[in-house]
Amino acid sequence: MQRRLAIFIDGSNLYNGMRENLSNTRVNLGELISQLRHERYLVRCYYYNAPLTEDYDEDLRDGQSRFFESLRRIPYVTVRLGRLHRRHDGSLVEKGIDVSIAVEALSLAYADAYDEAVLVSGDGDYVELVEAIKRQGKQVEVAMFRNQSAGVLMEYADVFRPLDELGWDTILF
């Protein structure tokens, strides 16, 4: 029987990892999903990010909007958007992304919507999420670049998939 798979992608974490490790952020998400999926049946891929604000160059904002629209045209991909919030020191921080990923991944686990989850992120804040999904009898794979975390998250996953080892020649534009 084919295992049902849900993929949860922390978009800014993926973007930063690609920028640092590949010096390229132009991703063919359909191909990335295909390589993460292997032979498993993809129930759905959820992509989370925050739209850029007026603080950013108009060309960057337009490019990001086009990217989000292109993702929405990929079968079985759902785009979830958070927001950027300005801190007192003037810096911008994403809001709503981590909670959205956790709520969606857990609620789908409780609904028995998937057998395995792939979490594309190196954010150690997801340790409790990984543990909670595993308590529901699901398997959790964490996919991230080797240098993205102190290793905390991958220690809790059932499987660690280093993004460094994917076939990036077919994933990047």
pLDDT in tens, 78-107: 999 999 998 999 888 899 999 999 999 999
CA atoms within 13 A on the CB side of 81: 13
Give yes or no for residue 158 having a pLDDT over 90: yes
pLDDT band with cut points at 50, 70 and 90 for residue 149: low
| pLDDT for res 166 | 94
Domain hosting 46: range is 4-171
Residue type, position 76, single letter: Y
Q: What is the mean pLDDT of residues 127-141?
A: 97
| Full DSSP string of 87-148 | -TTS-EEEESHHHHHHHHHHHHHHTT--SEEEEE---GGGHHHHHHHHHTT-EEEEEE-GGG
Domain count, the chain: 1
Q: Is the pLDDT of residue 151 over 80?
A: no
CATH of the domain at 132: 3.40.50.1010
Average pLDDT, the chain: 94
Q: How far apart are CA 101 and CA 47, in angstroms?
A: 9
Band the pLDDT of 134: cuts 50, 70, 90: very high
